[in-house]
Structure 1
Amino acid sequence: MNIKIKPLFEKVVDLVFGIILLFIILAIAIGAIQLFVDVWDLLSLKGITGQYINMITDVLTLYVMVELSRSLIEYFETHKLRLTFIIDAAIVFIVRELLIGLFKHEMKPDMIYAISTILFVLGALRIAAIVVYQREKQMSEDALN
Structure 2
Amino acid sequence: MKTIFDRMTDVVFGFILFFIVIAIFIGVIQLFFSVGKLLSFEGITGYYIDFISDVLTIYVLVELSRSLTEYFKSHKLRLTFIIDAAIVFTIRELLIGLFKHELKPDMLYAFTAFILVLGLLRIGSILVYQKEKEMIHNDNAAD
State whether TM-score is above 0.5.
yes
> In the alignment, which residue of structure 1 is the partner of 2:134?
138
Matches of 1:41 and 1:33, distance apart in 2:
14
Report the number of matched residues: 140
4+ residue runs over 6 A deviation: none
Q: CA deviation at 1:42?
A: 1.8
> In the alignment, which residue of structure 2 is the partner of 1:70?
66
Matches of 1:93 and 1:135, distance apart in 2:
28
Aligned: 1:108 with 2:107: no
The alignment partner of 2:77 has SS state of coil
TM-score by length of 1: 0.93
Q: CA deviation at 1:144?
A: 1.3
> In the alignment, which residue of structure 2 is the partner of 1:46?
41
Identity %: 63
- The match for 1:127 among 109, 123, 127 is 123
> In the alignment, which residue of structure 1 is the partner of 2:83?
87
Q: Residue 20 of structure 2 contacts residue 61 of structure 2 at CA under 8 Å; is this kept in 1?
A: yes
Matches of 1:95 and 1:15, distance apart in 2:
32
Matches of 2:137 and 2:13, distance apart in 1:
30
> In the alignment, which residue of structure 1 is the partner of 2:24?
28
1:40-69: CA deviation from partner (whole Å, max 9, x where unpaired)? 2322x0225131110110000000000000
Matches of 1:127 and 1:57, distance apart in 2:
26
- Structure 2: any 5+ residue segments left out of the alignment? none
1:96-120: CA deviation from partner (whole Å, max 9, x where unpaired)? 0000000010000000000100000
> In the alignment, which residue of structure 2 is the partner of 1:17?
13
TM-score by length of 2: 0.94
The alignment partner of 2:46 has SS state of helix
